[in-house]
Every structure is written in structure tokens, then in C-alpha cells.
């Protein structure tokens, strides 16, 4: 694992070194200061890239197959399970993990918590990429992806929950791009952009909170359309939106802990002292926030069972499965966080975050796929569908790494 | 300072414009709360005790709607032995209606049930569609417009009867396939749909939904021993244009008895009401937090203390 991104790179580029009048240099901006042949060698020497290449080698033809011959070519094309693992993982799983952007920008910009500043950009990037790739997953799953913009420009169904999701994701994606522009402007040496974004930062942050509240909730409310199809323990029409919103809070925070831990371990050369030295304290702060989210989530899940009078379901087979989810995905990370924060055991916090991140994806898959049509036969995804999910995840990873290597996200750009 | 005002005005107008959109929307929903169907809505009464499973309706539907030739012919009754991935056959992208056979414990012969779109009075597919691809016509049909459909398949999630099917096999012309009550060719001309016309047993009766309910109640009253005392579709999912009478408990004839007695949209209204509240309250609330967390007119007194890191989502 150590080898993940352990490339023998020359000098990390951290400032605009060129003289003001000279042209923008490809080598410095894109190739990390390496010559093309050195850069190629570094790529080939990294076994992670070989793994990614293998995934793409099978996955890209599968994607071509999907666009040439229809969804049937890579999925079971089930009429009973209209949403499969592509949406279940890619949209419903990725979006809560991308709540990080609005959470950290709220902490820093609204509540003036400057101690979280070293991680703010990473949280924003994580949010932006998560949303962007949720849309990519959607483009694979939509029957007519070329009509993606129809709800915005062609035909309106404003009373539908998905209409809110579409509009909010689209506007929030723009907000997140704007929030990431400062790092881009430092890298591209266009300070005017950064100055402008700084002026509207507060507005962007508040817009981010509104849009996130609504569409994290809306993703949950989508399932209120199927009150009789999903197992009652996983659907609670009155509370579904707040369950989804509340769980996105700890999911987003935990995702930042996971990503920052990976970066510190495998991309140390790219981090500056400001990031590395503060990371432990930040992790403790994030884990503390996540544990508040987890305990709240746990309680409102119980409230929903009490409200819908579903206690008896708990002693069925599905009930045990539900309890397993609650214990493994909510209570276990909650315990690890509480104990880890008190005794400053960073391993507990990091592994607790991994569990919570997987747990939230598990919860979303349970809602979309596993307990959907619980009284009927279960759908087991086609291997090609699973491979397509892994392919898109690999592209997500490559994009993420590409940006982290170059833009000042986990390091500070030196001002001339 | 000028810029700040500009920004605030801009944000304010943005928010109020968006809010008015959604407030208007919820008001519309509230008035639709009491919607009990169009006055002139047509319907079909299906009497399961009369159906002999000849599948004439399936054949007629296939011909009327120009659907692909089935693998097993319509006169081949061995199809009733065939089980789909979910136990029984269901309407899909090649058949708008199917007839299934059931063996209820109370009968010594099989019972047949025709399945198609029930044409809800307040259709879940329509209310779930974010591009308005569905229309409930005054005649009672729920029709679909493939020209604006994006293929998100939320209608399939929402339909409590799992009727809409997707043409997964096409990359360039996928679409939802579902019974449209023969709207284009027949219902709009006040003609009964092809399946009703083809039925040799008068198991299907076409007429005004109100009249059909009266007929159904008459049959229940005159032959109390022949039917269970329930009209499936009178209230299910808020009421449907297609209604059923059955000689055995509906669950034994494969009906989903978990379908709620109110329109599916009612389950979503709680959230739709939250939307304008968040849009209007959040800006002020968080702008307030912003002001509260900063001392105006004075320099920041204390540097941030990492030890004292309370978390961000408790709002402290």
C-alpha cells in the first residue's frame, strides 16, 4: 500500500516560478516539473497505475457497450429494480460522502473556525468531485443521457422531488466550482478570480448550506414515493429526508478524515507543514463533529421506529439485519470516535471513519436495492454493472489524484 | 459597503424568487389534496369471477398497440405455468397487459387475473416525474410522452402497482412502455379500449367510473356469496380508474394488499413543505450565525485554540 502514490518525483511545484512576462509552461503546470520522459517513467513505475489500467481496459469497452447497445447489455435490465447498483452506489452513496464541502466551508466561513482552514480546500474538492462523479454515474444510468438538461430547459415537473434534486445538484455543482476556483486561480496565476470569489464567499457558503440541506434530504424523500416497496424499517416517509440529511453530516466529515489520512500516508511529499502538523487536531475536531452526527442519527432512527410503531419488525430476519446495520455502521464508529477522541487514539478515529463511510454506503444500498421489493425476489447485479461501477470509481480516483498533485489543496501556494 | 448591499439584494431576490416558486407549488399541492378524479373519468370494471383466462385481451392489446410478436402465442395456455423472475409474469416493454393464473385455496379451479395500468386518479408516476412526461387526461387515461422523458425511471419506483416498464434493450430509443388505456386510438373517441372489446366473457366492463362503482356495489349486494366485499381500486392508491371484483381474498389473487389507501404523493408532501421553509429560513439563520461568531468593530481577541475545538455541526 505504501507504493500507492510513492512516485519518485522531482520538485513539487508550489509557486509560480516563471517571470511575469514569459509564457505559461506545460512542464511546470501539468508535468509536476518533470520532463515528459521522466513523467512517463514515473507513471509506468507505479503499480497502482497498472491496476487502474487493468480496470479501465475491461471497463471502457463495457461503457461503450452500454452506449451502443443499451443498458440491457451491461445490466439485468430488471423491470422490478429500476435503480441498480450504478445509481445505488454512484448517486445515493457518493452524494452523502460529498457533504464535506458545505460542512467545512460552514465551519470556516460562517463559524470562523480558522483551525479547520488547512483542510477546507480538501473538503471542498472532495465535495466537488463527489457531486461531479455522481452526475457521471447518473449519465451512465439515465436512459437518455443526452436529455440531462431537460428538467432545466425543456419540460418542467416542479412538484417532483427529483426536480429539486436536479436543480439543486446543478446549482450546487456551480457553487462548488466557484468555491474551488481560488486554488485554481493560484495555480493558473490569475489572481483576479480569487479576489472575486473571496468577495462572494459568504453568499456561496450559505447557498451551499441551503442547497445541501435540501437535496441531501431530497435524495431521501425520493424513497417516499415507494412507501410500500421498501422494508418499513428503512423507510419512514415523515423522517426520511432528515435521516438522509443527518447521516450525510457524519458521512461527509468521515470521508474527509479518510481522504486526508490517505493523503498524509501516501502523498506526504505533496503536503506542507501547515497541513501535516495540524491534521491530528483537525481529525479530532472532525471526529467529534461526526460523533454528534452519529448519535443524533441513531436517536432519530429510533424515533422513526417508535413513530411508525415498527418495534415488532425488529424481531424478524429483516429486523436483525437492520440491527446489524445500526450496530456496525452507527454504534461502532460512534464508540470508536467517543473513545478515540477522549484518549486521543488516532487509529480509532481513522478506522472509525472508514467504517462510517462504508456504513453509509451500505445504508444507501440497503434502501435502494437490498430491502427494495423486500417481499419479492432479490436482484443481484450483473458483473458487468459492478465492473462499470469500479471503472467509474477508478476514473474518480485518477481525477482526484491528478488535481491533488497540482492544485494547492493540501499545500499553500507561495505568493510572490 | 456598497458591494455588500448589492450582494445582499441579489441574494435576497434570488431566494425570494426561488421561494415563491416553491411556495406556489405547495399551495397547488394543498388544493390538489382533495382531488378525487375528473368528473367524466372513464374506467373498467374487471370481474375476476367471469375471467376464463383465454388471453383474448392480451392479443387485442398487442395488435392495437403494435407491440412485438410474443415468443409464445396468445392461444398457448402453457404460459400460465411459466414463471417470471418474480414468480408471475408482469407487464413489460413487450406487453402492456398480461393475464396470470392463481390457485387460491378457496377455489377448486384456477383464478385468472388481468394486469395492466390501473390509471390512478392521482397517479404516482405523474407526480414523481420531473419532466412532466405523464398526463392524466379528463377521460381518465394516464398517458406518457416519450419526447421529453429522460429515462430516470422514477415512475417505475413510484408506481405502487409496478406497471411502467423500460425498454432497456435500446441505446438510442429507450422509453417507458405502459398501457395508455388505448387513449390515442379509442378512448379519446369515447370508445372502449381494445382489451374490453375483445373480452368474450364480459369480464371487463367499460364506462364512467362512477357508474362502474354503482355496478360493482350492485353485484356485491346481489351476490354476496360470489364475491369478497371489496372493490379493489375504489380507494387503493387514492382510487384507480380500473376496478376489480374478486371471488377470493384479493391477496390470494396476487394483488398487493400493501398499497396504501391514499395517493402516493401524500407521502412526499411532508418533504415538499420543508423546501420553502429551508429556502427562506436558512439564509437569515446562517447569516445570523456568521454575525454572532464575529465581534464587530473590535479586533479578534483570541487566537483559535485547537484544544477547545467544539465541532461545527452543533452550531456552537
| Average pLDDT value for residue range A71-98 | 93
| Average pLDDT value for residue range A381-405 | 95
pLDDT at residue B302, as a whole number = 56
Axis crossing angle, helix A117-141 with helix A240-266, rounded to the nearest 10: 120
A77 and B294 within 8 Å at the Cβ level: the answer is: no
Q: Is B170 on the interface with A (CB under 8 A)?
A: yes
| Average pLDDT value for residue range A308-318 | 92
pLDDT at residue B309, as a whole number = 44
A68 and B171 within 8 Å at the Cβ level: the answer is: yes
Per residue in A201-228, pLDDT (tens digit) is 899 999 999 999 998 999 999 999 999 9
Burial B274-309 (b: 16+ CB within 10 A, else e): bbbebbbebbeebbebbeeeeeeeeeeeeeeeeeeb
Q: Is B236 on the interface with A (CB under 8 A)?
A: no
* Distance spanning both ends of chain A, measured CA to CA: 37
Least CB-CB distance to B313: which of A75, A147, A289? A289
| Average pLDDT value for residue range B237-259 | 94
| Average pLDDT value for residue range A287-292 | 95
pLDDT at residue B295, as a whole number = 73
A156 and B132 within 8 Å at the Cβ level: the answer is: yes
- SS3 label, residue A372: strand
Q: Do strands B134-136 and B142-144 pair parallel, antiparallel, or not at all (unpaired)?
A: antiparallel
A249 and B149 within 8 Å at the Cβ level: the answer is: no
pLDDT-derived band of residue A2, with 50, 70 and 90 as boundaries? Answer: very low
Q: Is the pLDDT of residue B236 over 90?
A: yes
Residues paired with B99 in a beta bridge: B114
pLDDT-derived band of residue A27, with 50, 70 and 90 as boundaries? Answer: low
If you count residue pairs, one on A and one on B, with CB atoms under 8 Å apart, how many are there? 235
Q: What is the 3-state secondary structure (H, E, C) of chain B?
A: CHHHHHHHHHHHHHHHHHHHHHHHHHHHHHHHCCCCCCCCCEEEEEEHHHCCCCCHHHHHHHHHCCCCCCCCCCCCHHHHHCCCCCCCCCCECCECCEEEEECCCCCCCCEEEEECCCCECCCHHHHHCCCCCEEECCCCCEEECCCCCCCCCHHHHHCCCCCCEECCCCCCCCCEECCCCCCCCCHHHCCCCHHHHHCCCCCEEEEEHHHHHHHHHHHHHHCCCCCCCCCECCCHHHCECEEEECCCCHHHHCCCCCCCCCCHHHHCHHHHHHHHHHHHHHHHHHHHHHHHCCCCCCCCCCCCCHHHCCCCCCCC
B304 and A114 within 8 Å at the Cβ level: the answer is: yes
Q: Is the pLDDT of residue B301 over 70?
A: no
User: How far apart, in Å, are the Cα atoms of A320 and each of A299, A375, B119?
Assistant: 18, 16, 38
B290 and A202 within 8 Å at the Cβ level: the answer is: yes
Interface with chain B: mutation pick from A73, A157, A290, highest number of B CBs within 10 Å: A157
pLDDT at residue B293, as a whole number = 87
pLDDT at residue B1, as a whole number = 36
| Average pLDDT value for residue range A96-103 | 94
Least CB-CB distance to B25: which of A151, A158, A228? A158
A241 and B271 within 8 Å at the Cβ level: the answer is: yes
pLDDT at residue A382, as a whole number = 93
Give A406 or A344, the one with higher predicted confidence.
Answer: A344
pLDDT-derived band of residue B310, with 50, 70 and 90 as boundaries? Answer: very low
pLDDT at residue A26, as a whole number = 65
Q: Is B308 on the interface with A (CB under 8 A)?
A: no
Q: Cα(B121)–Cα(B119) distance, rounded to whole angstroms?
A: 7
Per residue in B33-59, pLDDT (tens digit) is 566 778 789 999 999 999 999 999 999
| Average pLDDT value for residue range B288-300 | 75
Per residue in B214-229, pLDDT (tens digit) is 999 999 999 999 999 9
pLDDT at residue B80, as a whole number = 84
Chain B, residues 2-41, CB within 8 A of chain A, namely: 3, 7, 10-11, 21-22, 25, 28-29
Mean pLDDT, all residues of chain B: 85
* Domain edges within chain B: 42-123+158-267
Residues of B in contact with A213 (CB under 8 A): 278, 282
Least CB-CB distance to A115: which of B169, B286, B306? B306
Q: Is the pLDDT of residue B23 over 60?
A: no
Residues 6 or more apart from B72 whose CB is under 8 A from it?
B78, B79, B82
ipTM here: 0.88
pLDDT at residue B2, as a whole number = 40
| Residue A166 CB-density burial (10 A; 0-12 exposed, 13-18 middle, 19+ buried) | buried
Q: What distance separates the 2 farthest-apart alpha carbons in chain A? A: 74
Q: Cα(B154)–Cα(B150) distance, rounded to whole angstroms?
A: 10
Per residue in B79-91, pLDDT (tens digit) is 887 765 556 889 9
pLDDT at residue A10, as a whole number = 44
pLDDT at residue B312, as a whole number = 45
**C-alpha grid cell, residue B309:** 475545538
Residues of B in contact with A294 (CB under 8 A): none
A206 and B128 within 8 Å at the Cβ level: the answer is: no
Residues of A in contact with B151 (CB under 8 A): 142-145, 147
Residues of A in contact with B149 (CB under 8 A): 143-144, 147
Least CB-CB distance to B171: which of A70, A147, A160? A70
Closest Cα in chain A to B3: A199
Alpha helices in A70-105 (DSSP H): 85-90, 94-97, 100-105
Listed range (A58-72, A154-168, B247-261) with the worst mean pLDDT: A154-168
Q: Is the pLDDT of residue B307 over 60?
A: no
Q: Do strands B111-115 and B42-47 pair parallel, antiparallel, or not at all (unpaired)?
A: unpaired
Residues of A in contact with B294 (CB under 8 A): 112
| Residue B66 CB-density burial (10 A; 0-12 exposed, 13-18 middle, 19+ buried) | exposed
* CA distance to partner chain B, nearest, from residue A286 (Å): 7
Per residue in A169-212, pLDDT (tens digit) is 889 999 999 999 988 888 888 888 888 888 888 999 999 999 99
The CATH class given to the B42-123+158-267 domain equals alpha beta
Least CB-CB distance to A144: which of B3, B174, B267? B174
Residues of A in contact with B28 (CB under 8 A): 159
Q: Is the pLDDT of residue A115 over 80?
A: yes
| Radius of gyration, CA atoms only, chain A | 22
Mean pLDDT, all residues of chain A: 89
Listed range (A1-10, A217-226, A315-324, A376-385) with the worst mean pLDDT: A1-10
Closest Cα in chain B to A164: B130
| Average pLDDT value for residue range A111-115 | 90
Residues of B in contact with A240 (CB under 8 A): 271
B311 and A285 within 8 Å at the Cβ level: the answer is: yes
User: How far apart, in Å, are the Cα atoms of B168 and each of A150, A197, B163, B173, B291?
Assistant: 20, 44, 15, 9, 53
Q: Is the pLDDT of residue A307 over 70?
A: yes
A292 and B311 within 8 Å at the Cβ level: the answer is: yes
Tell me the range of A16-25, A42-51, B238-247 where mean pLDDT is highest.
B238-247
Closest Cα in chain B to A214: B275
Q: Cα(B43)–Cα(B192) distance, rounded to whole angstroms?
A: 9
Residues paired with B114 in a beta bridge: B99
Q: Cα(B118)–Cα(B233) distance, rounded to whole angstroms?
A: 8
All domains in chain A, ordered by first residue: 39-406 (1.20.1630.10)
| Average pLDDT value for residue range A280-284 | 95
pLDDT at residue B27, as a whole number = 46
Interface with chain B: mutation pick from A88, A91, A111, highest number of B CBs within 10 Å: A111
pLDDT at residue B45, as a whole number = 97
User: How far apart, in Å, are the Cα atoms of A151 and each of A163, A166, A317, B148, B172?
Assistant: 7, 7, 41, 9, 19
Q: Is the pLDDT of residue A294 over 90?
A: yes
pLDDT at residue A21, as a whole number = 52
Amino acid at each position: 500500500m505504501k507504493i500507492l502514490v510513492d512516485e519518485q518525483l522531482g520538485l513539487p511545484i508550489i509557486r509560480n516560478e516563471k517571470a511575469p512576462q514569459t509564457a505559461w509552461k506545460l512542464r511546470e503546470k501539468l508535468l509536476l516539473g518533470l520532463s515528459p520522459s521522466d513523467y512517463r517513467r514515473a507513471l509506468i513505475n507505479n503499480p497502482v497505475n497498472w491496476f487502474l489500467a487493468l480496470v479501465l481496459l475491461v471497463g471502457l469497452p463495457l461503457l461503450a457497450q452500454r452506449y451502443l447497445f443499451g443498458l440491457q447489455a451491461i445490466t439485468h435490465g430488471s423491470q422490478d429494480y429500476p435503480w441498480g447498483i450504478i445509481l445505488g452506489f454512484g448517486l445515493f452513496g457518493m452524494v452523502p460522502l460529498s457533504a464535506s464541502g458545505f460542512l467545512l466551508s460552514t465551519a470556516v466561513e460562517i463559524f470562523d473556525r480558522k483551525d479547520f482552514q488547512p483542510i477546507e480546500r480538501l473538503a471542498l474538492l472532495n465535495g466537488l468531485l463527489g457531486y461531479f462523479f455522481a452526475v457521471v454515474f447518473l449519465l451512465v444510468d439515465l436512459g437518455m443521457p443526452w436529455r440531462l438538461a431537460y428538467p432545466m430547459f425543456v419540460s418542467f415537473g416542479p412538484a417532483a422531488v427529483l426536480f429539486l434534486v436536479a436543480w439543486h445538484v446543478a446549482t450546487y455543482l456551480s457553487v462548488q466550482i466557484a468555491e474551488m476556483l481560488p486554488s485554481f486561480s493560484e495555480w493558473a496565476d490569475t489572481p483576479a478570480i480569487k479576489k472575486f470569489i473571496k468577495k462572494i464567499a459568504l453568499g456561496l457558503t450559505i447557498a451551499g448550506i441551503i442547497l445541501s440541506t435540501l437535496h441531501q434530504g431530497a435524495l431521501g424523500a425520493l424513497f417516499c414515493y415507494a412507501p410500500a416497496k421498501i422494508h418499513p424499517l428503512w423507510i419512514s416517509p415523515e423522517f426520511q429526508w432528515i435521516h438522509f440529511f443527518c447521516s450525510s453530516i457524519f458521512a461527509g466529515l468521515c470521508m474527509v478524515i479518510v481522504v486526508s489520512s490517505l493523503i498524509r500516508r501516501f502523498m506526504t511529499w505533496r503536503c506542507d507543514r501547515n497541513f501535516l502538523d495540524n491534521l491530528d487536531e483537525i481529525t479530532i475536531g472532525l471526529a467529534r463533529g461526526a460523533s454528534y452526527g452519529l448519535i443524533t442519527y441513531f436517536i432519530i432512527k429510533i424515533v422513526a421506529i417508535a413513530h411508525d410503531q415498527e418495534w415488532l419488525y425488529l424481531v424478524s430476519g429483516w429486523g436483525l439485519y437492520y440491527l446489524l446495520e445500526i450496530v456496525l455502521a452507527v454504534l461502532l464508529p460512534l464508540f470508536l470516535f467517543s473513545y478515540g477522541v477522549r484518549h486521543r487514539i488516532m487509529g480509532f478515529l481513522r478506522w472509525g471513519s472508514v467504517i462510517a463511510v462504508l456504513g453509509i454506503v451500505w445504508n444507501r444500498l440497503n434502501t435502494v436495492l437490498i430491502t427494495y421489493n423486500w417481499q419479492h425476489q432479490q436482484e443481484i447485479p450483473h458483473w458487468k454493472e459492478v465492473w462499470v461501477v469500479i471503472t467509474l470509481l477508478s476514473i474518480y480516483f485518477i481525477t482526484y489524484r491528478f488535481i491533488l498533485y497540482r492544485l494547492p489543496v493540501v499545500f499553500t501556494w507561495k505568493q510572490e | 459597503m456598497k458591494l455588500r448591499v448589492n450582494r445582499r439584494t441579489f441574494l435576497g431576490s434570488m431566494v425570494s424568487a426561488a421561494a415563491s416558486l416553491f411556495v406556489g407549488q405547495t399551495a397547488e399541492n394543498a388544493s390538489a389534496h382533495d382531488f378525487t378524479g375528473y368528473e367524466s373519468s372513464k374506467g373498467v370494471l374487471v370481474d375476476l369471477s367471469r375471467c376464463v383466462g383465454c388471453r383474448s385481451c392480451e392479443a387485442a392489446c398487442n395488435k392495437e398497440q403494435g407491440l412485438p410478436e410474443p415468443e409464445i402465442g396468445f392461444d398457448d395456455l402453457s404460459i400460465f405455468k411459466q414463471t417470471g423472475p418474480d414468480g408471475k409474469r408482469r407487464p413489460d416493454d413487450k406487453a402492456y397487459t398480461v393475464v396470470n393464473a392463481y390457485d387460491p385455496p378457496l377455489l377448486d379451479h384456477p383464478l385468472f387475473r388481468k394486469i395492466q395500468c390501473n390509471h390512478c386518479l392521482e397517479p404516482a408516476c405523474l407526480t414523481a416525474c420531473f419532466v412532466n412526461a405523464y398526463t392524466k387526461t379528463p377521460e381518465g387515461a394516464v398517458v406518457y410522452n416519450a419526447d421529453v422523458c429522460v429515462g430516470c425511471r422514477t415512475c417505475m419506483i413510484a408506481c405502487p402497482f409496478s406497471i411502467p416498464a423500460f425498454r432497456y434493450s435500446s441505446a438510442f430509443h429507450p422509453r417507458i412502455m405502459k398501457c395508455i388505456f388505448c387513449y390515442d386510438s379509442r378512448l379519446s373517441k369515447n370508445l372502449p379500449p381494445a382489451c374490453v372489446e375483445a373480452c368474450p366473457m364480459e369480464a371487463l366492463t367499460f364506462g364512467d367510473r362512477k357508474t362502474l362503482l354503482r355496478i360493482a356495489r350492485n353485484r356485491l349486494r346481489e351476490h354476496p356469496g360470489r364475491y369478497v366485499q371489496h372493490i379493489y381500486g375504489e380507494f387503493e392508491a387514492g382510487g384507480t380508474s380500473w376496478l376489480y371484483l374478486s371471488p377470493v381474498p384479493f391477496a390470494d389473487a396476487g394483488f398487493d394488499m400493501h398499497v396504501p389507501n391514499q395517493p402516493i404523493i401524500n407521502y412526499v408532501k411532508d418533504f415538499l413543505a420543508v423546501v420553502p421553509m429551508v429556502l427562506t429560513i436558512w439564509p437569515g439563520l446562517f447569516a445570523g450565525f456568521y454575525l454572532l461568531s464575529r465581534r464587530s468593530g473590535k479586533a479578534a481577541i483570541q487566537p483559535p485554540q485547537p484544544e477547545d475545538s467544539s465541532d461545527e455541526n452543533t452550531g456552537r
